[in-house]
């Protein structure tokens, strides 16, 4: 059996990974997923694909946090990193400074993981339970966070097909994304 590369493993995880928005924000009246929900959903893939995930945070000064989410291949030590940079809202009413940093930290973790896993906010067929209906893929457009993640993924050696399996792209955008691939 051929060993999978770290890019192939990540591509498979991106296609298989599901994390429901199981939490509810009463103030904003919306459902959301937390970084902890995402990490819990990733655990089965550690053993299945021989990988593990690491989260690292750096304080950049001026109330800015940079968080990276890394997938590491246990067999070869190869890895892929995705990052998110967030500002800490120091003027949030009712929160002390440690809570403000904690909130920003959680937000950054969630978005770094989202960038690594190409998580989007569209409902999947499992969530809507409409298995017999044909579903359409979400559109991937330039200027969005998902576009930047897709470009970073292709530049790091990721397979364009993984993105095409998940998103609908215009011919022009597909061509541009392809141009970032291996030369």
Pairing state between β 79-87 and 64-73: antiparallel
| pLDDT number for residue 71 | 97
| pLDDT number for residue 155 | 81
> Is residue 121 scored above 80 in pLDDT?
no
pTM (two decimals): 0.63
CATH assignment, 1-119: 3.30.160
Q: Where in the chain is the domain with CATH 3.30.160?
A: 1-119
pLDDT in tens, 144-176: 878 888 888 888 777 778 788 788 877 777 778
pLDDT in tens, 46-86: 999 999 999 999 999 888 999 999 999 998 899 999 999 99
The string over 32-46, giving b where at least 16 C-beta atoms fall within 10 Å of a residue's C-beta and e elsewhere, is: ebbbebbbebbeebe
> Is residue 43 scored above 80 in pLDDT?
yes
Instruction: Give the alpha-carbon dihedral of 135, 84, 160, 70, to 10 degrees.
Output: -110
**What 8-state DSSP symbol labels residue 96?**
-
| pLDDT number for residue 161 | 80
> Is residue 141 scored above 50 in pLDDT?
yes
| pLDDT number for residue 183 | 55
The lowest-confidence range among 32-36, 44-48, 86-90, 126-130 is 126-130
pLDDT in tens, 104-116: 898 899 999 999 9
């Amino acid at each position: 059996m051929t060993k999978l590369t770290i890019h192939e493993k990540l591509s498979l995880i991106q296609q298989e990974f599901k994390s429901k928005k199981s939490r509810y924000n009463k103030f904003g009246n919306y459902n959301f997923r937390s970084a902890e929900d995402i990490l819990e959903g990733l655990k089965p893939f550690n053993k299945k694909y021989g990988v593990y995930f690491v989260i690292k945070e750096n304080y950049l000064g001026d109330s800015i946090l940079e968080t990276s989410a890394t997938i590491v291949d246990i067999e070869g030590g190869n890895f892929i990193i995705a990052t998110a940079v967030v500002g800490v809202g120091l003027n949030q009413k009712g929160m002390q400074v440690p809570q403000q940093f904690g909130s920003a930290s959680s937000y950054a973790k969630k978005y770094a993981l989202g960038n690594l896993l190409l998580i989007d906010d569209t409902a999947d067929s499992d969530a809507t339970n409409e298995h017999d209906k044909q579903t359409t893929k979400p559109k991937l457009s330039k200027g969005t966070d998902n576009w930047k993640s897709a470009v970073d993924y292709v530049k790091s050696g990721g397979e364009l097909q993984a993105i095409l399996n998940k998103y609908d792209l215009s011919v022009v955008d597909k061509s541009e994304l392809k141009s970032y691939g291996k030369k």
